Amino acid sequence: MNIVVVESPAKAKTINKYLGEDYHVLASYGHVRDLPPKDGSVDPEEDFAMSWQVDSGSEKRLKDIIAALKDADQLILATDPDREGEAISWHLAEELERRKKLKGKKVSRVVFNEVTKTAIQQAFSEPRELNMELVEAYLARRALDYLFGFTLSPVLWRKLPGSRSAGRVQSVALRLICDRESEIEIFKPQEYWTVDAKLSTADGQKYGARLTHLRGNKLDKFDLANATLAQDAVDLLEDATSFTIKTVEKKQSRRNPQPPFTTSTLQQEASRKLGFGASRTMRIAQKLYEGIDLGGETVGLITYMRTDGVTLSADAIASGRDLIAKQYGKDYLPANPRVYKSKAKNAQEAHEAIRPTNLNLLPRDVVSHLDDEGRKLYELIWNRTVASQMESAILDQVAVDIDVAQGQAVLRANGSVLRFDGFLKLYQEDKDDEKDGQDDDRRLPKLTEGDVANREEIEKEQHFTQPPPRYSEASLVKKMEELGIGRPSTYASIIQVLQDRDYVVLEKKRFKPEDRGRIVVTFLRNFFSKYVEFNFTADLETQLDDISAGSVDWKKVLRGFWEAFHSAVDETKGLTITEVIEALDEDLSDHFFPTPEDANAKHPRECPTCDDGRLGIKLGKTGGFIGCSNYPECRYTRQLSLPDGEGGENDLSQPKELGIDPATELAVTLRKGPYGVYVQLGEAIEKTKPKRVSIPKGTPISDVTFELAQGLLSLPRDIGPHPDDGAMIIAGIGRFGPYVKHGSTFKSLTKDDDVLVVGLNRAVALIAEAPKRGPAAALRTIGAHPEDSVDITVHSGRYGPYVKWNKVNASLPKDKEVDTITLDEAVELLTKQLEKKGAKKKTPAKKKAPAKKTTAKKATAKKTTTKKTTAAKKPAAKKAPAKKTTKTEE
């Protein structure tokens, strides 16, 4: 018997079918051990010895593997074909060897880039040993991230109240977002004008042209800087008596297809075309890779999805070319196969690009077997892969110059005609959302040099330069890739961590830094500038790649990093909070307190409440804010952001009065708090809080009128009695937004419903759509509980799946699946839940503390913790198990 270990149960189930009875496939559920989240897990004093801990969930997986190994001759490690997959296999082999469970058993490693029968069987015919160069690259990355986080985070907690942990790569990504926000804040729009002419041919065909030269001078973007200059140009064109075609330039261009997807480009295009975030894209891709049931047979639909390689296998190219010839015709098939090369140095170890495992499996063939998001992503990958091998698109481009009044001005008309669509028949990459696309796909009528153009209309248009856009997930991933920050398997986790720590928020699919994120970046740039430099982080990534290539010793890289980093941390020990605040205040001064252009204008540093107060950066428990130097006499504060338009209509640094409520004679004000914008009636009197109502999501501040505020403050309101029972239906705004309520039934309003005017008929219809409360139907019956023979069942709840027995519910851990949890595992979960409930109810009696049993504790610690890279000085103390890691490197 051969025991095979993969990472996920879904993949295990698929592979087991391909290998036959001589193989038993088990899942490790990702990593089986990790560094405990405490000081000392990586010890630089012991040549970077690393202590590893097995958590309770992984312990059960290990026991299953150990039990299966008893009657086996061979252990085959078949985890994913990248650095992280190699590390998971190494951890398994090391831990089993430490427990002396591999005596007399052969251990081998196999890798495959796709979960198909052919690929699996070929991989198992070519086993190899563990690649220690890849393992060492993983160890170096894991140690670097640990040392950075566990050394720098305590400095942040002490010096920056309200801040959270710092990550080696996350901090640099956060800097990108914060730097972009600073650019936006200090951006000053510049006015410019354009002048366009609508012209026609002798036979009445119309076309447009833009003014490019005026009175012999070529116009730059800002030459028509105001309405007066623009009108002067318009007057000249309107007074002109002749418009003549001066030159007609024609040229043919070819547009080539993009290479097949890498991890980065897949995340970017899924974000642009499908609206999927990076984490969501990778989760869907993981399912497609591990296998989908296609009418009784489970098949992996795409190749491994963590890669920065753009090559395709010879078989995939041949298959693609055959398909193109049959589906689209020989005109769409280039004479020679297209070969792409990765620009990334030492590209990710899964060399091939992301592609369908079987190109003949068309998107329409799998639509009935996939959910909506799986179908969309598979179709995107299929289209991109096939298009990458198709013929180029051919365009005719035309540029026409029109002379006005014998040299007084020149107009230019551009156009292009798609002569052959080529790969565009199947796929067109979205334009970069960082750039303004020019629409050149305009058809021009046939124009000949010397022809007369007829003037139809002259128009001028005002424009203003725009600030650079905030990063979207797509543009942030692209920027990190360009800078060499992070690697394909880390982009999604980097973005997620920044959001989880409340350093950034995603608004309208764009990243905006939160107060604490800006403070953290400013602190790091002042006191740890080297470690948030783009080049430094990129160079370190290159060194990690060099380790995996076997050209650099991993301990040497760690020593080079640690010596300088540790010294930098030591230098901050004497810093006081006052010194930190002063440094932050000075660094952020130009952004938050810009000197006004008008010398007579009030300086932003002057407190608007008191006469002699100076505004500056302050630190509170929840992060940074702007406050007055005369605190506590003056309590003026505002958020750490620039006033909108220096006191414009959207500036809520101070309450904005909308009017006086006639019923109470109290002021109705518009305010901004930590949870968003709201309206308030009156002021707080001692401990009595005034009435407040949040502004509905998506409502612009400029749209909040006194009438709207009055309507919101009148909520909740009665809509009318329900026709079934006469009970009143109520409309209001709660923590999850606008809703209607009937008895104990709540139903959220849609974006098209107005909480202030929604009527009875609509409310009744919404209530009817609300899910009925009651016991959730069982998804599966596991078996009878040994205590009373009552069935244990699995249900789907608000917070995920759970097991139920009598009146006891216990949530399933993330590594458990509804279809695979066993009776013993369910009983254990329910028993732990009962113990928790019992512990809450019991009041422990006061009694003498028992004598310490150090021997037992040491034994336990040795059982769950081990050092493998270097001998440990002492066993790690027993502590709560580390959170289990899966496919992340950052």
Q: Which residues pair with 249 in a beta bridge?
A: 399
Which of 713, 800, 755 shows the shortest CA–CA distance to 747? 755
Q: What is the DSSP string of 526-541?
A: HHSGGGG-HHHHHHHH
Q: In the 8-state DSSP scheme, what is residue 848?
A: P
Q: What is the DSSP string of 335-371?
A: SS-------STT--SS-BPB-BS-TTS-HHHHGGGS-
Which of 199, 191, 189 shows the shortest CA–CA distance to 229? 191
Question: Other C-beta atoms within 10 Å of 247: how many?
Answer: 12
> CB-hemisphere CA count at 13 Å for 762?
15
DSSP three-state, residue 845? coil
**Spatial distance between the Cα atoms of 51 and 40, rounded to a whole number of angstroms:** 8
Q: Which residues pair with 513 in a beta bridge?
A: 504
**Spatial distance between the Cα atoms of 2 and 855, rounded to a whole number of angstroms:** 39
What are the backbone angles phi and psi of residue 388, rounded to the nearest 5°? -65, -20
Structure tokens at 230: 């623009």
Q: Which residues pair with 218 in a beta bridge?
A: 213
Structure tokens at 532: 């948030």
**Spatial distance between the Cα atoms of 354 and 786, rounded to a whole number of angstroms:** 48
Residue 737 contacts residue 748 (beta carbons within 8 Å): yes
Q: In the 8-state DSSP scheme, what is residue 596?
A: P
Residue 5 contacts residue 21 (beta carbons within 8 Å): no
Strand segments, DSSP code E, in 771-880 are 778-784, 791-797, 800-805, 808-811, 865-867
**Spatial distance between the Cα atoms of 103 and 88, rounded to a whole number of angstroms:** 20
**Spatial distance between the Cα atoms of 662 and 491, rounded to a whole number of angstroms:** 55
DSSP three-state, residue 83? helix
**Spatial distance between the Cα atoms of 777 and 818, rounded to a whole number of angstroms:** 14
**Spatial distance between the Cα atoms of 316 and 648, rounded to a whole number of angstroms:** 59
Structure tokens at 317: 């190219």
Four-point Cα dihedral 666, 670, 673, 676, nearest 10 = 130
Q: Is the peptide bond before 716 cis (omega within 30 degrees of 0)?
A: yes
**Spatial distance between the Cα atoms of 47 and 868, rounded to a whole number of angstroms:** 12
**Spatial distance between the Cα atoms of 84 and 79, rounded to a whole number of angstroms:** 9
Residue 393 contacts residue 418 (beta carbons within 8 Å): yes
Residue 303 contacts residue 114 (beta carbons within 8 Å): yes
Structure tokens at 426: 């199947």
Residue 592 contacts residue 626 (beta carbons within 8 Å): yes
DSSP three-state, residue 25? strand
The sign one gets for the Cα dihedral 622, 628, 633, 636 is negative
| End-to-end Cα distance, the chain | 37
Catalytic residue check, 304: yes
Sheet holding 623-628, edge to edge: 615-620, 623-628, 637-638
Amino acid at 591: H
Question: Maximum Cα–Cα distance for the chain, whole Å?
Answer: 108
Catalytic residue among 138, 207, 304, 531: 304
What are the backbone angles phi and psi of residue 613, rounded to the nearest 5°? -80, 145
Residues annotated as catalytic (active site), given as ranges: 304
